Copies of this chain bind each other. A is one copy, B any other.
C-alpha cells in the first residue's frame, strides 16, 4: 500500500495540545510516520491536499449497537423502559444475516460522520464482525452476555463469546473482541464473574452497561444493597472496565471508578432522548476520571454522529451545571478521541508518530470560519458533513464525503425490504 501524505493542513494533534497551522501528516502502512510543519518529501505517496482545512484524529465512538439501524425513528418519545419493551419484541426476530445488513449501514454512517473506531455490543457478533471487516472501520465487538433465562442460556452465550474471540480477535489489526455482559439487572453474579474471567484471560477490558437510570440503581440497591458501580467493583474486575452511560452515579461511585479503572462512556443524546438523565461529567473530570464518549445505538439516538455527540456533551454540561467551563471545547474533543482510544486500550486518538493512522480531513468552509479557537470550531460549529476524508488504519474509507466501502444505494433498498418484513 502506498504511503499517504496529507498537506496544507491545520493539524489538531490532540498530542499535548500541539496544533500546526500549516502542517502535513505522513501515513505509512497502518501508522502515522510523521506530523509537523516541515514539508515531507514523499515522492511515491498518494497526496491529499487538505486545502487549509482541519486535520484531526478520527473520532472514537466508545458505545454503540451497530445492528440497530432498523430502529431509527422507531418508538420515538418513550422513556427507556417502555422503549425497551417495543425494541425487544423486534430484536427477538433478528439473526446474523439481518444484523449484518443493519450493521453495515451503521458502519457507513459512522465513517461518513467522522468515526474511525466503534465499540459495539449486541446480541450476536458474526454479522457485526462481517460488516466491520467489510467497511474497514476499526471495531471492538462483543456478544453481550445475559442469563435471565437460566444456566443453559448463559452457557450458550459464553460459548458464542469464546468462539467469536477465536474467529475474529486481531483480524486485520483492527477487529478486537471484548468480553461484555449486558448489565447488572440482566446478569447473575455468576454470569458477571464468568465474563470478567474471560476479559482477564484475554487481557482486554470488560464491557457493560451501568447506572443508566435511577430505576436501575434502585433495583441494584434492592438486589445487592449497593449501587451498580459498587457491585461491579466488588467482583474483582480486570485491569480496566468500560461502563456505558453512568448517568446516575454518586461521589462514592466516582471514587470507586477511579480506584478500579472503570471508565465511563458518556452518551448524552441517548440519555436525554430516553429521559434517563444527565451524567455528572464535570464532577467525573474533577475526580480525575477520563470519560469516553458514545452515541449509543440508532434506536435511541437516531443518528451516529460523534460531532453532534461531542457538541451535545459540552453544551449540556455547561448549561446543566451553570458553569461555562464545566466541559470546555478541548475536553469534549479529548473525550471523543484520546479518552476513547485509552479506554479501549489501543494506541490511537492522536495524530502522533507511531500512533494508529486514523485521520480525518475537514475542508475549510465559510461556516467554519473565523478560527479564533480551533477546538471551539470542532466542538460548536463543525457538523458531520464537513468530513471530507476519513482514513482508518491507513486506508482511505471516505473520500470527498462518500464512503468507498459500502454500496449505500444497495443497502437502502435492502433496508426497505427487511424492515417491511420485520415491523
- On A, residues with C-beta under 8 Å from B are 70-79, 82-83, 105, 108-109, 112-113, 268-269, 271-278, 301-303, 305, 308, 311-312, 314-316, 318-326, 328-329, 364, 366-377, 380-381, 383-385, 408, 411-412, 415-416, 419, 423
Contacts and interface: CB of A to CB of B under 8 A. Distances in A.
B372 A271 contact: no
B108 A76 contact: no
Given A315-B269, A377-B72, A408 B366 contact: yes
Q: How many copies of this chain sit in the oligomeric assembly?
A: 2
A324 B314 CA distance: 21
Contacts of A112: 367
A295 B247 CA distance: 28
Contact of A416 (B268, B308, B369): B369
A412 B363 CA distance: 13
B278 A376 contact: no
Contacts of A275: 318-319, 321-324, 326
A276 B319 contact: yes
A416 B278 CA distance: 39
Contact of A384 (B268, B272, B383): B383
Contact of A73 (B105, B312, B381): B381
Given A73-B374, A113-B367, A275-B323, 4 more contacts: A72-B369, A274-B318, A302-B377, A366-B415
Contacts of A415: 366, 369-370
Contacts of A371: 73
A389 to B, nearest CB: 16
B319 A367 contact: no
Nearest to A76: B376
A187 B377 CA distance: 34
B380 A76 contact: yes
Given A77-B329, A367-B109, A376-B302, A274 B72 contact: no
A240 to B, nearest CB: 28
B272 A315 contact: yes
A370 B419 contact: yes
B272 A319 contact: yes
**4 closest A-B pairs by CB:** A272-B319, A385-B385, A302-B380, A73-B376
13 contacts: A72-B381, A76-B328, A76-B376, A82-B324, A83-B324, A105-B366, A272-B319, A272-B320, A301-B380, A302-B381, A370-B419, A370-B423, A385-B385
